[in-house]
Amino acid sequence: MYETILYKVKNKVAYLTLNRPDSLNAFNEIMNKEIVQALKIAEKDPSVRALVIQGAGRAFCSGEDLKSLDKNIDLGEIIKKRYTPMLKQIASFSKPIIASVNGVAAGAGFSLALACDFRIVSDKATFIQAFINIGLVPDTGNLFYLPKLVGTAKAIELSILGEKITAGDAEKYGLVTKVVPFDELESETENFAEKLANKPTKAIELIKNLIRKSYETRLDEFLEYEAYSQKIAGSTEDFKEGVQSFVEKRKPVFQGR
């Protein structure tokens, strides 16, 4: 059982809820570890075909718990020991990950949302690139993802100004998948996640890998990888079902294999 998060699976979707509402779901060492554990379980569980990360209470996640942080500590070690493993686990997660952002996502909480594949955001949500305000640099992969989402100029602006970003602005910058009314966040998130959970899961994994590769490789290497990916996708049951349903003019039922 978990101490700082909740984990449940419903209709092929795993819900990972950050559950320290009193501290606006701030990260502590246990939470970093438990997120990794839960992600490993969701990765291995064939009945899970999408994962939602959400926050309990008012906030999504307020980042590192500064109150319990020793000021003389080596922050580099904290990153390596706690945040890097979490980020790597998210980055290598093969199934779609949705951040369902209810309220504030600040600091590493913002980074967490950026590392997900989708961001469904309530109209009350805010993002804060808070690091600069206490003299630090964005961490937890933040600046790996942010410029890719919003471009270099906007990434510099957000990171150096450290101002609050409203849901509406976030949408304008291309940071979010969809903004929904606060009261509908839960149902909208569920609908969206279940939609993803019924898509061809292997193809989703391969698409995520290909997009990642596009930043890492030369074109000829990428095209080789593309051919492998299509070979793999073409050997799935879901591909057969896709073609079959097309021929039969009906909706496909994908099994995620």
Partner 1 sequence: MSNYQYIFTEIDDAVGKIILNRPEVLNALNRPMITELVNALETFNKNENIKVILLTANGRSFAAGADIKEMKEDDPIYLEKLDQFAEWDRMSLIKKPIIAAVQGYAVGGGFELVLSCDIVFAAENAKFGFPEVNLGVMPGAGGTVKLTKTIGPRKALEWLWTGEYFDAKKAYEYGLVNRVLPVEVLFDEAMAFAKKVATQPPLSIRLIKDTVTKAVDLSTYESMQYERKNFYLLFATDDQKEGMQAFVEKRQPIFKGK
Instruction: Give residues with Cβ within 8 angstroms of 74, minimum separation 6.
Output: none
Between residue 89 and residue 108, which ones bind partner 1 under the rule CB under 8 A?
none
Chain centroid to CA 204: how far?
14
Closer to partner 1 by Cβ: residue 182 or 225: 225
Task: Compute the distance between CA of residue 61 and CA of residue 125 in angstroms, rounded to an integer.
Answer: 11
Residue 68 contacts partner 1 per CB under 8 A:
no
Residue 228 contacts partner 1 per CB under 8 A:
yes
The residues pairing with 128 across neighbouring beta strands, listed in sequence order, are 106, 164
Closer to partner 1 by Cβ: residue 101 or 204: 204
Residue 88 CB, nearest approach to partner 1 (Å): 11
Residue 49 CB, nearest approach to partner 1 (Å): 18
Report which residue type is found at 140: T
Q: 3-class secondary structure for 54-117?
A: EECCCCCECCECHHHCCCCCCHHHHHHHHHHHHHHHHHCCCCCEEEEECCEEECHHHHHHHHCC
Tokens of 101: 């952002």
Closer to partner 1 by Cβ: residue 217 or 245: 217
Residue 214 contacts partner 1 per CB under 8 A:
no
Contact region for partner 1 (CB under 8 A) — 78-86, 177-185, 187-195, 224-232? 224-232
Residue 201 contacts partner 1 per CB under 8 A:
no
Residue 231 CB, nearest approach to partner 1 (Å): 6
Residue 46 CB, nearest approach to partner 1 (Å): 16
Tokens of 131: 């690091």
Classify residue 50 by burial, with Cβ atoms within 10 Å: 0-12, 13-18, 19+. Answer: buried
φ, ψ of residue 182 to 5 degrees: the values are -50, -45
Contact region for partner 1 (CB under 8 A) — 75-83, 148-156, 178-186, 229-237? 229-237
The residues pairing with 120 across neighbouring beta strands, listed in sequence order, are 100, 178
In angstroms, the Cα distances linking 64 to 6, 115, 214 are: 19, 16, 31
Residue 107 CB, nearest approach to partner 1 (Å): 29
Contact region for partner 1 (CB under 8 A) — 77-85, 105-113, 138-146, 228-236? 228-236
Tokens of 210: 């290909």
Residue 229 contacts partner 1 per CB under 8 A:
yes
Binding mask 231-250 for partner 1 (x = CB under 8 A): xx--x---------------
Closer to partner 1 by Cβ: residue 2 or 225: 225
Binding-site size for partner 1 (CB under 8 A) equals 7
φ, ψ of residue 171 to 5 degrees: the values are -65, -45
Closest to 103 (Cα-Cα) out of 86, 83, 81, 126: 126
Contact region for partner 1 (CB under 8 A) — 143-151, 167-175, 192-200, 221-229? 221-229
Interacting residue ranges for partner 1, rule: CB under 8 A: 209, 225, 228-229, 231-232, 235
